[in-house]
């Protein structure tokens, strides 16, 4: 994929209030004839906007794997196709846990793939502890899930506190901002990511002139915006996952004349870019895709295209890709569908991706090794600022 930033059977099943999968696709079920992956995704609720195309992305990956003959399991002496069972968790932790219990007891899945976000995943993890099914966490990396040892789960991401550390590397390399105002939606992931960003700012010799975890149900941000104006911050950093809250804060900030040199928005999928229109111009953000021409870039681009979007439009697609690769690699090394063999192989992952830019592995707590790369929005699309050796020069600290 020259420029990632720009550039089985499927059975659609209607989602009813009861336990009916969003989709089940692959090959017919029979013992040791398929690999069944169980997961939930936010097809409704406040997280829906940031994950909208990911069910189709999973379909595309499974179709690709099965077209190549499946995943080779050497101890069984054959390759097996992949089948997903996916439910709508409605962006709600209790709903997610209910469905992961069903995936274990009714659907009899071989492995779990996690839902979107830490607060939903934290609930779902109860099922893996109970049923001893390997759990591949996806977009989740907050410390609460790692405070207690759990041998049945590993993450693809590094700690939430380090999520945006490469943005700090950008300012260290390029300059352009010295005083930072920082706000987050008062929620588990957002607060940890914000505090990590604040710590990194100070460690780099720059200043945090304002920091606030704004109540999650806030609709009127006037008092916060007025307080930030009084600090004369060079850059305003906004950390929040679900698009509606981010859009509301940014629109009010623009309308009320908040004009720092730069806005930095932790999560900037296409719904936020479209809603902000011209006001998204030159916003700096983090993305889990970056420019390149490796085999992984090309495969990710092809999967996203098959799912009906460009990878830059939903930046967490890069996390999903990382998880698919972890899954396939782990199962191949386990060589069977034995849960203990899969669990052991999961912890021993050492998988280079994107020409070695990412090496997927886990520390003793189960954290992964994937972090986001800096981007800047121009003309409604992101420009990759990575690697910094060339990308830093593309950065334009200019507020429209």
8 Å CB contact between 365 and 146: yes
Closest CA to 148 of 125, 164, 182: 125
- pLDDT of 17 reads 35
In a domain, 335, yes or no: yes
8 Å CB contact between 244 and 263: no
Residues 6+ apart with CB under 8 A from 256: 222, 225, 226
Phi, psi of 179 (to 5 degrees): -115, 125
Co-location of 156 and 168 in the same domain: no
Co-location of 63 and 185 in the same domain: no
The CATH number of the domain holding residue 177 is 3.40.50.2300
In a domain, 385, yes or no: yes
Q: Helices (DSSP H) in the chain: which residue ranges?
A: 48-51, 54-67, 93-105, 118-131, 165-174, 188-203, 222-229, 243-255, 270-276, 295-306, 317-334, 339-347, 388-391
Co-location of 286 and 169 in the same domain: yes
- The Cα 303–Cα 61 span in angstroms is 6
8 Å CB contact between 47 and 117: yes
Q: Structural domain tally of the chain?
A: 2
8 Å CB contact between 388 and 377: no
In a domain, 300, yes or no: no
Neighbours of 16 (CB within 10 A): 8
8 Å CB contact between 36 and 62: no
8 Å CB contact between 361 and 351: yes
- The Cα 88–Cα 249 span in angstroms is 28
- The Cα 85–Cα 81 span in angstroms is 13
8 Å CB contact between 170 and 374: yes
Co-location of 279 and 387 in the same domain: yes
In a domain, 37, yes or no: yes
- SS3 category, 60: helix
Co-location of 277 and 378 in the same domain: yes
Q: CB-hemisphere CA count at 13 Å for 374?
A: 29
- pLDDT of 398 reads 77
In a domain, 311, yes or no: no
**DSSP category for residue 351:** E
Co-location of 156 and 29 in the same domain: yes
Phi, psi of 227 (to 5 degrees): -65, -40
Cis peptide before 119 (omega within 30 of 0): no
Report helix angle 222-229 to 243-255, nearest 10. 50
Co-location of 345 and 378 in the same domain: no
- The Cα 97–Cα 101 span in angstroms is 6
In a domain, 1, yes or no: no
- The Cα 313–Cα 56 span in angstroms is 14
Residue-by-residue pLDDT tens, the chain, 400 positions: 545 544 433 333 333 334 567 665 544 334 689 999 999 999 999 999 999 999 999 999 999 999 999 999 999 999 999 999 999 999 999 999 999 999 999 999 999 999 999 999 999 999 999 999 999 999 999 999 999 999 999 999 999 999 999 999 999 998 889 999 999 999 999 999 999 999 999 999 999 999 999 999 999 999 999 999 999 899 999 999 999 999 999 999 999 999 999 999 999 999 999 999 999 999 999 999 999 999 999 999 999 999 999 999 999 999 999 999 999 999 999 999 999 999 999 999 999 999 999 999 999 999 999 999 999 999 999 999 999 999 999 998 877 6
Please provide the DSSP assignment of 206-249 as one string.
Answer: -EEEEEEEE-TT----HHHHHHHHTTT-SEEEEE-SSHHHHHHH
Q: What is the extent of the structural domain holding 121?
A: 10-160+316-360
DSSP β-ladder status, 10-12 and 23-25? antiparallel
Closest CA to 64 of 36, 38, 25, 29: 25
In a domain, 106, yes or no: yes
Co-location of 149 and 241 in the same domain: no
Co-location of 120 and 166 in the same domain: no
Phi, psi of 293 (to 5 degrees): -130, 25
In a domain, 296, yes or no: no
Which residues are paired to 37 by β-bridges?
84, 111
Rg (CA), the chain: 21
- The Cα 219–Cα 196 span in angstroms is 25
Co-location of 190 and 258 in the same domain: yes
Co-location of 79 and 113 in the same domain: yes
Closest CA to 70 of 327, 318, 361: 327
- pLDDT of 16 reads 32
Co-location of 270 and 379 in the same domain: yes
């Amino acid at each position: 994929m020259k420029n990632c930033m720009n550039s089985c059977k499927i059975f659609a099943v209607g989602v009813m209030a009861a336990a009916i999968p969003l989709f089940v696709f692959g090959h017919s079920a029979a013992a040791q004839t398929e690999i069944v992956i169980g997961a939930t995704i936010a097809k409704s609720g406040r997280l829906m906007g940031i994950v909208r195309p990911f069910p189709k992305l999973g379909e595309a990956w499974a179709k690709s794997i099965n077209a190549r003959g499946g995943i080779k399991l050497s101890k069984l002496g054959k390759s097996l196709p992949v089948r997903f069972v996916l439910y709508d968790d409605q962006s709600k932790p209790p709903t997610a846990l209910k469905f992961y219990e069903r995936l274990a007891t009714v659907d009899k899945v071989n492995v779990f793939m996690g839902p979107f976000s830490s607060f939903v995943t934290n609930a779902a993890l109860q099922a893996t502890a109970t049923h001893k099914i390997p759990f591949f966490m996806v977009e989740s990396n907050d410390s609460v899930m790692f405070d207690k040892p759990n041998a049945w789960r590993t993450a693809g991401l590094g700690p939430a506190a380090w999520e945006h550390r490469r943005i700090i590397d950008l300012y260290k390399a390029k300059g352009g901002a010295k005083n930072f105002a920082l706000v987050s939606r008062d929620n588990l992931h957002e607060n940890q990511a914000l505090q990590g960003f604040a710590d990194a700012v100070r460690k780099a010799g720059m200043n945090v002139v304002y920091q606030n975890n704004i109540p999650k149900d806030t609709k009127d941000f006037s008092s916060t915006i007025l307080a930030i104006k009084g600090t004369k911050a060079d850059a305003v950093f906004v950390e929040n996952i679900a698009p509606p809250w981010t859009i509301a804060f940014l629109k009010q900030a623009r309308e009320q004349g908040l004009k720092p040199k730069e806005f930095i928005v932790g999560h900037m999928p296409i719904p936020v870019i479209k809603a902000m229109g011209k006001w998204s111009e030159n916003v700096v953000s983090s993305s889990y895709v970056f420019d390149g021409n490796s085999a992984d870039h090309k495969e990710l681009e092809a999967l996203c295209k098959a799912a009906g979007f460009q990878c830059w439009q939903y930046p967490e697609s890069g996390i999903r890709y990382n998880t698919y690769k972890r899954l396939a690699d782990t199962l191949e090394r386990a060589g069977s569908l034995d849960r203990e063999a899969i669990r052991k192989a999961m912890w021993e992952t050492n998988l280079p991706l994107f020409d070695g830019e990412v090496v997927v592995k886990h520390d003793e707590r189960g954290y992964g090794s994937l972090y986001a790369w800096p981007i800047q929005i121009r003309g409604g699309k992101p420009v990759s600022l990575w690697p910094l050796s060339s990308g830093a020069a593309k950065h334009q600290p200019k507020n429209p």
